[in-house]
Amino acid sequence: MFQHYDIMVIAPHPDDPEFGAGGTVAKWTAKGRTTIYIICTNGNKGTEDPDMTPEKLSAIRKEEQKEAARILGVSQVIFLEYDDQTLEDTADFRKEIVRYIRMHTPYIIIAPDPYRRYIWHRDHRITGQVVLDAVFPYARDRLAYPEFITAGLQPHKVKEVLLFGSESPNYYVDVHATFQLKISALYCHKSQVAKFQPDWEENYKKMLAKLGESCNYELAEAFYRVILPP
């Protein structure tokens, strides 16, 4: 039998789940909601170190991601192993995402908003679009991939999608109680946060406080929420 998870976070790179939804994930796992991460790339290009190799960086970032997930209570982390900056909206990529959705039957999927304008990492745009297409209609429709039925992967209807990085959020999660867990998870990504300015944590907290103003939350993570038809 395939393992069911309540929440599935599908992110392009290691550290994206923590930046995009770390407080929300920590809040939900504390309430017993099982969570899986699907990380699309191997993290092999996110460095300014001239002496770092892609192979070494990938190994480092995957370990960082697994430790961050552990802190947040995430049950499993799967890496699809695409190279950074190479994600494309292809039939194979979409099919792979559909396969994991049908395998793990999440109620909620968290992914990047593909419709952020102008400056947005291409891997984020592609991941978000592929996830939305995978959720509807491909994961839902029995005849989309007949071979999946033979393999025991039945159609699955995701209940909702939360898109992080949105310029037009319509859903906010109060994360003041889990902010320090989110920060602790982000500090696991030493290869990334080491280059940040000393006041990055304070500024980041101010950003979450600003997001919370519209709903009277001390600190909030913001998403564009899509409710799928039953």
Q: How far is CA 186 from CA 12, 35, 140, 227, in A?
A: 16, 18, 34, 29
pLDDT of 64 reads 98
Give residue limits of the domains in the chain: 7-227
Give ∠ CA 223-117-161 in degrees, rounded to 5.
25
Find, among 111, 91, 89, the residue nearest to 12 by Cα: 111
The token pair at 123 is 């891997």
pTM for the full model?
A: 0.97
- What residue ranges of the chain have pLDDT lower than 70? none
> Residue 129: its pLDDT value, please?
98
Residues 189/65, Cβ–Cβ less than 8 Å: yes
CB 7 within 8 A of CB 117: no
CB burial class (10 A; 0-12, 13-18, 19+) of residue 111?
buried
- pLDDT in the model for residue 198: 87
* Residue 1: per-residue pLDDT: 72
Looking at residue 222, what is its pLDDT?
A: 98
Q: What is the DSSP letter of 46?
A: -
Q: How many CB atoms lie within 10 A of CB 86?
A: 13
Under a CB-based contact definition with an 8 Å cutoff, are residues 170 and 224 in contact? yes
Closest CA to 104 of 223, 186, 8: 8
The residue written with tokens 């939900």 in the block is 28
2-27: pLDDT as tens digits = 999 999 999 999 999 999 999 999 99
Instruction: Give the span between the Cα atoms of 141 and 145, in whole angstroms.
Output: 8
Q: Looking at residue 195, what is its pLDDT?
A: 85
pLDDT at residue number 197:
86
Superfamily in which the 7-227 domain is placed by CATH: LmbE-like (3.40.50.10320)
How many Å apart are CA 36 and CA 99, to the nearest integer? 14
How many beta carbons lie within 10 A of that of residue 193, not counting itself? Answer: 16
pLDDT at res. 223: 98
